[in-house]
């Protein structure tokens, strides 16, 4: 009998975990498993804000795919997906094409820019290793340049972060620690540098526990972060950011705007013709799009509803990993001829957000609030647990966050 072709697109949390689980559970004669990814490395998206601020080198964040995927069991193709044609059961890549019997889509997120003028052209985004590295280099270049110009240019030292959701808050937490180091290195007075976080909602971290939000803002303000709350970003140019607050337009001179104010699913999913809402496709309980029983969608490209709140679950690594494990188990059922697939239910353990390497806030195990050292230690435990799942103890020792007291 012909072995079915399972093709997995993307080696983010969703894609690589599906591949690693399948390589453990399927026998060599069960299926051909192919993993396609743009780069020869997997990266931990949840650490990119540290790479962007320059508090953690990006080589700690990326993991060579061959170090966790057994390439004698899974065929790894380093290439970029250009088109998915579900009616032909085919995927087109920059350098070829692949046919599948089962497809797993884990192509992740893109920044949502909501049509705001100038954002695409002039703002920086924390999307992947390349874009995070560019932000670090750009900030450092501006510090270096500042003392090399006859006229001091404040645009170079105003760092503006759009959005005080989890990404924005985590990024300004890293910046607050990094800026004093940069000031020292480039002989720039700390008081000349501004880190400004602009948020449209009436609070930072809308929807999160108010006492923890207050703790986070106090911690960040004490380290020099300025908040503009209730301030809607309207435009970005090469030299300024424009926002509207209390019906007044205000401008901040800057050549560093980092946009962390929302994500959408990969646009390839939309172009494939699946029903989708900003690149996120509503999927069934078995994580399949309507009308395509041979396609599974995991991670940020999948839209699943929280029946209790009546709203979609926010896209997180936590859910992507669980969906991947679930999909690998369902694929094994399909390959083994068991037509009954298990429905997916997220098992949320909580949310923890870092405020730099030694401070954090979180709500875990339903309603336990954490802040400070205990939250920061919990965040490191969560990160290490993922590495343990992905590559066992050797990977934890190589890439893990083991310094709990710093």
**What positions carry a catalytic annotation?**
170
Residues in the chain: 406
- E strands, 122-191, where? 124-125, 158-162
Please select the residue that binds ligand FAD; options are 6, 7, 8, 11, rule is CB under 6 A.
11
The residue (of 36 and 159) whose beta carbon lies closer to ligand FAD is 36
Q: End-to-end CA distance of the chain, in Å?
A: 57
By CB under 6 A, the residues from 319 to 338 that bind ligand FAD are 320
CA 116, chain centre distance (Å): 21
- The CB-of-34 to ligand NAD minimum distance in angstroms stands at 28
By CB under 6 A, the residues from 40 to 59 that bind ligand FAD are 45-46, 48-49
- The CB-of-164 to ligand NAD minimum distance in angstroms stands at 6
> What's the burial of 308, exposed, middle or buried (CB within 10 Å: 0-12/13-18/19+)?
exposed
Please select the residue that binds ligand FAD; options are 167, 256, 276, 330, rule is CB under 6 A.
167
Question: How far apart are alpha carbons 375 and 288 in whole angstroms?
Answer: 35
362 binds, among ligand FAD, ligand NAD, none (CB under 5 to 8 A by kind): none
What stretches of 45-87 show up as alpha helix (H) in DSSP? 48-53, 58-61, 65-68
Instruction: For the beta carbon of residue 380, count every other beta carbon within 10 angstroms.
Output: 18
Please select the residue that binds ligand FAD; options are 199, 270, 300, 359, rule is CB under 6 A.
300
Residue where the block lists tokens 């937490």: 173
Q: Is 279 in the site for ligand FAD (CB under 6 A)?
A: no
3-state secondary structure 98-126: EECCEEEECCCEEECCCCCCCHHHHCEEC
Question: How far apart are alpha carbons 355 and 17 in whole angstroms?
Answer: 27
Q: Is 126 in the site for ligand FAD (CB under 6 A)?
A: yes
11 binds, among ligand NAD, ligand FAD, none (CB under 5 to 8 A by kind): ligand FAD
Please select the residue that binds ligand FAD; options are 53, 104, 105, 107, rule is CB under 6 A.
107
Size of the site for ligand FAD (CB under 6 A): 33
Question: How far apart are alpha carbons 177 and 179 in whole angstroms?
Answer: 6
Name the token pair of 100. 């599948």
- The CB-of-95 to ligand FAD minimum distance in angstroms stands at 11
Question: How far apart are alpha carbons 108 and 11 in whole angstroms?
Answer: 9
Q: Is 362 in the site for ligand FAD (CB under 6 A)?
A: no
Residues lying near ligand NAD in the complex (CB under 6 A): 116, 162-168, 170, 198-201, 206, 232-233, 260-263, 314-316, 351-353
Binding residues for ligand FAD (CB under 6 A): 10-15, 36-39, 45-46, 48-49, 80-81, 106-109, 126, 128, 167, 170, 266, 268, 299-300, 315-318, 320
């Amino acid at each position: 009998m012909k072995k079915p072709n399972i093709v997995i697109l993307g080696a983010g949390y969703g894609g690589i975990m599906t591949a690693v689980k399948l390589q453990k559970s399927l026998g060599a004669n069960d299926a051909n498993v192919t993993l396609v990814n743009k780069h020869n490395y997997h990266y931990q998206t949840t650490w990119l804000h540290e790479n962007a601020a320059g508090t953690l080198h990006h080589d700690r964040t990326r993991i060579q795919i061959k170090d966790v995927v057994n390439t004698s069991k899974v065929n790894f193709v380093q290439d970029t997906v250009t088109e998915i044609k579900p009616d032909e059961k085919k995927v087109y890549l920059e350098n070829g094409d692949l046919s599948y019997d089962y497809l797993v889509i884990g192509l992740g997120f893109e920044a949502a820019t909501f049509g705001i003028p100038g954002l695409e052209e002039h703002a920086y985004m924390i999307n992947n290793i390349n874009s995070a590295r560019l932000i670090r280099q750009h900030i450092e270049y501006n510090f270096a340049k500042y003392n090399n110009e006859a006229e001091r240019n404040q645009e170079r030292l105003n760092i503006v972060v759009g959005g005080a959701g989890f990404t924005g808050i985590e990024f300004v937490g890293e910046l607050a620690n990094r800026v004093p180091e940069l000031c020292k290195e480039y002989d720039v007075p700390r008081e000349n540098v501004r880190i400004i976080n602009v948020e449209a909602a009436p609070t930072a971290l809308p929807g999160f526990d108010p006492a923890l939000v207050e703790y986070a803002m106090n911690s960040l303000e004490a380290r020099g972060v300025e908040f503009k709350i209730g301030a809607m970003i309207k435009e970005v140019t090469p030299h300024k950011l424009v926002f509207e607050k209390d019906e007044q337009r205000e401008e901040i001179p800057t050549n560093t705007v980092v946009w962390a104010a929302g994500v959408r699913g990969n646009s390839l999913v939309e172009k494939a013709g699946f029903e989708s809402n900003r690149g996120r496709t509503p999927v069934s309980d078995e994580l399949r799009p309507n009308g395509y029983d041979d396609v599974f969608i995991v991670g940020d490209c999948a839209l699943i509803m929280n029946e209790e709140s009546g709203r979609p679950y926010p896209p997180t690594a936590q859910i992507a990993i669980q969906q991947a494990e679930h999909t690998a188990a369902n694929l094994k059922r399909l390959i083994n001829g068991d037509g009954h697939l298990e429905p997916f239910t997220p098992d949320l353990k909580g949310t923890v957000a870092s405020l730099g390497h030694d401070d954090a806030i979180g709500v875990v195990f339903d309603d336990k609030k954490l802040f400070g050292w205990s939250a920061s230690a919990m965040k490191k435990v969560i990160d290490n647990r993922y590495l343990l799942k992905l590559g066992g103890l050797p990977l934890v020792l190589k890439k893990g966050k083991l310094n709990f007291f710093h």
